[in-house]
Amino acid sequence: MEKSSYRTWTEKLRPMALPAEFQKAYEEWEGEGSLINVNELKGILSRYDLRTEKLETLCRYLEEIWESREVSEYVKFICWTQCDRRYEYFIDGNVDFNLSGIGDAGKAINFFICLSCMRQSEKDLIRRKIPSELYEKIPYRMLDGQIEKYSRTGELKVDDMPWSLNFYSHSIYLFDRFLFVPCRYDGIYDFYRKDDEVVGVTAQKLAVDNMGQVINDEESASDSTEKNGYYYGGFEPERKIKFITQYNEDAENVSGNRLSPCGYITEKIVVLEKRKWNKILTKDDWMIGFHIPEGEGYTPEHVRISMKLAMDFFRTYYPEIDFKGFWSASWLYDGRLSMLLSEDSNIVRVQRQFFNYSGGWNGEMAYIELFGDLSLKLDEVPMETTLQRRVSVFLKGGGRLCETGMVYFPEELDKSFEEMIYITSQDLDAEEKLFERNGWKELVYETGN
């Protein structure tokens, strides 16, 4: 295939934000990929009651893209990376495929890439012999909201392109109650197993605060954690370092600070003999991402049923990928919620099925999920549920919440979901003492009902 140099191509089209590794992908690319045509566009959108002028605008943009060889090839290239080579050129973080080097159609490139991925990705699913009922509705979980927004506002922006592409590329699946998608483990910890025992250790030197949380410079510098004079569960702008973690490895042993599976880093140094402990997870290993849609059914039983179905599915249809287990991050895994909820609440029960860890993420996610809007003062937030009321009092008193990561390994899938798996009673006792040292237990007594 005759093609321009990557530099010439990108300088002419001026993509907003391409991953650096796409230059390597471009050298390998030989013209594969898809770009939907106008008839296909109309077919996809026929399920929606879209006004004529808005549909005509989309058709005009798409015709302009087809008229330009460079732009049409650009869409096919991105589609190829996110469908045919998705697990090699996996994207995350800040990406934007829209083009500033062309006219108004450049603002719709992300949208047309998404629709083109719907078509291109089906080829791989058919090759893998995946039953169509498992994936045919998945893209519409995103497209329905996208078209509703476009119909109402004329806005074509695709929010969180990496997340959205999971749906449009048929890479995410719904099993029982939860969504699952392949992802890379981007952790700063390694995990080891000896028989039924799993230990997590720091895999590098990290600054840790008095809450046992990683001090993430990016999170600490965020000015979005302070609103109207309150820190809404977010970290202080300048947290003090309580200790620096250790990490050492030689031919026989590996040592580092032990992770509490309750979700924080301890000062305890563990030394693991390599001949006895198998490393079961390290950075860049493949995991199955676990995501929680809104609605009922957030229970340990549904978690287990869903995970079993997902593991069986991915091992059957994606045998070339060595999935090490499950990964997720959520405000729901924050151990501090266990102070504000009963032991038999589903949030606490599910939390205690997982190996939770500190990712250095602040508490904004909890605030948004519980109260809906970071701009609301604590005196203005809804107080309809017991948890909303208790969290409000907890935060007003200076308490902190955070988003927490979790991992879960397939060896545990046949264990009882009624019992804690990675967390021990000693871990819970140590967590209780941590809460007391930070003054949080006193705040809980004030929350009442």
Residues of the chain with pLDDT > 90: what percent?
81
Q: Does 217 score more than 70 pLDDT?
A: no
| Statement to judge: residues 161 and 250 lie in one domain | no
Asked whether residue 307 is assigned to any structural domain, the reply reads yes
| 150 and 196 within one domain | no
Residue 445's contacts (CB-CB under 8 Å, 6 or more residues apart) are: none
Read off the pLDDT of residues 294-310 as tens digits, 9 standing for 90 and up. 999 999 999 999 999 99
User: What's the pLDDT band for 93 if we cut at 50, 70, 90?
Assistant: confident
| H/E run at residue 248 | strand 247-249
Which band of pLDDT confidence, cut at 50, 70 and 90, is reported for residue 221? very low
- Measured CA to CA, the distance from residue 230 to residue 389 in angstroms comes to 17
Q: CA-based diameter of the chain, in Å?
A: 71
Residue 260: what are its φ and ψ, rounded to 5°?
A: -80, 130
Both tokens of 151, joined, read: 């119909």
Residue ranges of alpha helices (H) inside 199-351 are: 217-220, 300-317, 337-340, 346-351
For residues 407 and 315, state if they share a domain. yes
**Main-chain phi, psi angles of 78, to 5 degrees:** -65, -40
Asked whether residue 325 carries a pLDDT value surpassing 90, the answer given is: yes
On whether both 93 and 43 belong to a single domain, the answer is yes
**Which tens digit of pLDDT belongs to each residue from 337-384?**
999 999 999 999 999 999 999 998 888 889 989 998 888 888 888 999
What are the C-alpha distances in Å from 395 to residues 234, 337, 340, 347? 9, 12, 12, 19
Quote the number of domains for the chain: 2
Distance from C-alpha of 355 to C-alpha of 361, rounded to nearest angstrom: 17
Which domain, by its residues, includes 262? 184-447
Q: Which pLDDT score is estimated for 223?
A: 45
- Residue 175: what pLDDT? 97
Q: Does position 86 have pLDDT exceeding 60, yes or no? A: yes
Q: Decide if 176 is inside a domain.
A: no
The string of pLDDT tens digits covering residues 117-134 is 999 999 999 999 999 999
Whether residue 26 lies inside any domain: the answer is yes
How do beta strands 243-244 and 264-273 pair? unpaired
Question: Same domain, yes or no, for 135 and 213?
Answer: no
Q: Which of 46-55, 237-246, 345-354 has the lowest mean pLDDT?
A: 237-246
Residue at which a domain ends, from 171, 203, 225:
171
Q: Hey, what are 343's tokens?
A: 């032991």
Give the mean pLDDT of 155-181: 96
pLDDT tier for residue 197 given thresholds of 50, 70 and 90:
very high
CA distances, 60 to each of 38, 104, 309 (Å): 9, 10, 43
Whether 237 is covered by a domain: the verdict is yes
pLDDT in tens, 432-444: 999 999 888 888 7
Residue with tokens 């001949």: 275
The span from the CA of 17 to the CA of 8, in Å, is 16
pLDDT at 446: 67
Phi, psi for 189 (deg, rounded to 5): -130, 155
d(C-alpha 236, C-alpha 439), whole Å: 16
pLDDT (mean) for 157-180: 96
Is the pLDDT confidence value at 218 over 80? no
